[in-house]
Structure 1
Amino acid sequence: MKFLVGDNVIVTAGKDKGKTGKITRVFPAENKVTVENANIYVKHLKPMNNQAGQRLESPRPMSTAKVAILNDENKPDRIGYKVKKDGSKERVFKKTGKVVPTPEKSKK
């Protein structure tokens, strides 16, 4: 999967089209990601014995086809791979050809 936790992305389709945020979780097997402040669903809890009723907001995963990474100019872009001379891969923006910075959360 080309997206990593911490990447800045923009939602390109659906009810949250145009919203931007960082990726918080990645699900490579399902080809889905969760984006902060996007695809938020509300679950209503009824009041129980000593607890008041409440609304729980939780982000749901969305398809990677509905998000695009933001490049240096804050424009949507796609990610490609470039193989370096030593054989390792690095992510690059398709439009500009510049290297995609690795987010802090994904560095090990």
Structure 2
Amino acid sequence: MAKPKIKFVPESLHVKTGDTVYVISGKDKGKTGKVLKVFPKKGKIVVENINMITKHMKPSQINPQGGVVTKPAPMFSSKVMLFDEKAGKPTRVGYKFVDGKKVRYSKVSGETL
């Protein structure tokens, strides 16, 4: 009997594409990077130069040479915190309404994101 792969998937993620994030656990702990892609249904994100994997590519028409390629793999969004560049440290994300619109803000500096 195979156990389920994902135990909990949040309704919405605290990070969006283009955000700078700080890795809080795993092999790349302490590194920062930019979010390239978000998979909300799986609760995962892809961050540039974080969680890099090596993939052995078979020769094809697009890549006639083949070879070994390194690329970032998806990781759970709970392993990262948003990085506040003004404060220079990771922060939690809060939500508030400004002029009838829901906006995200940094808990460290109080700045809207």
Secondary structure class of the residue paired with 1:65: helix
Secondary structure class of the residue paired with 1:80: strand
Provide runs of 4+ in structure 1 moved above 2 Å: 44-48
Equivalent residues in 2 for 1:83-94 (5 A)?
83-84=97-98, 86-94=99-107
**Residues 38-92 of structure 1 deviation map (CA, whole Å, 9 limit, x = unaligned):** 00100124679xx5551111211111111111111220101111112x3211110
Unpaired segments ≥5 residues, structure 1: 101-108
Unpaired segments ≥5 residues, structure 2: 1-12
Q: Residue 73 in 1 paired to residue 87 in 2?
A: yes
Q: Which of 30, 36, 41 matches 2:53?
A: 41
Deviation at 1:17, TM superposition (A): 0.8
Equivalent residues in 2 for 1:1-108 (5 A)?
1-45=13-57, 52=65, 54-71=67-84, 72-84=86-98, 86-100=99-113
Q: State the distance in 2 between where 1:88 and 1:47 align.
A: 50
**Please, what TM-score do these two structures have when normalized by structure 1?**
0.80
Letter in 2 for 1:96: S
Contact 2:43–2:76, Cα closer than 8 Å, also in 1: yes
Question: Identity, % of aligned pairs?
Answer: 44
